[in-house]
Amino acid sequence: MKEIEIDSLDGLKEVAEEVINGLNGRNVVAFCGAMGAGKTTLISAIMEYLGSHDTVTSPTFALVNQYNTANDEAVYHFDFYRINRIEEVFDMGYEEYFYSGDLCLIEWPELIEELLPEDAMVVRIEVLSPTERRFTIEN
């Protein structure tokens, strides 16, 4: 487990680097935090770290967005905030994404916890102040 505290958006590069370097062959990352904690902002920093030029937005209504890294590898960004039934996740074919080997970045994983791979990395975001955050990366 690693904790990183930042006091500005500039610190997100370090967090993004820790997440990517800590994957150790895993491909599913679950981001836990309150509304407005910075989950999408961190995912944007991760995509920037991976050399993506795609615009990162929360897929709140689409459930999933696809981005590409500088090496043209697919990355899937999920937001399960608006799901009403777990069957919606089955209907979208989550297994094809989670077990594809492609990187999957998940917001609101608490709503689908029973579907997450056992080895998923969990990143917890705690709001300390309007500009300060604590990130706990659980390996």
Compute the distance between CA of residue 17 and CA of residue 39 in angstroms, rounded to an integer: 15
Over the stretch 65-97, which tens digit does the pLDDT of each residue have? 999 999 999 999 999 999 999 999 999 999 999
Model confidence at 61, pLDDT cuts 50, 70, 90, reads: confident
Entry pTM? 0.96
Over the stretch 105-126, which tens digit does the pLDDT of each residue have? 999 999 999 999 999 999 999 9
Q: What is the pLDDT of residue 67?
A: 98
Q: How far is CA 52 from the centre of its chain?
A: 15
- In the chain the first and final C-alpha atoms are separated, in Å, by 6
Residue 80's nearest CA partner among 50, 102, 105 is: 105
Go through the domains of the chain in sequence order and give each one's CATH number.
2-138 (3.40.50.300)
Q: How far is CA 100 from the centre of its chain?
A: 16
Model confidence at 62, pLDDT cuts 50, 70, 90, reads: confident
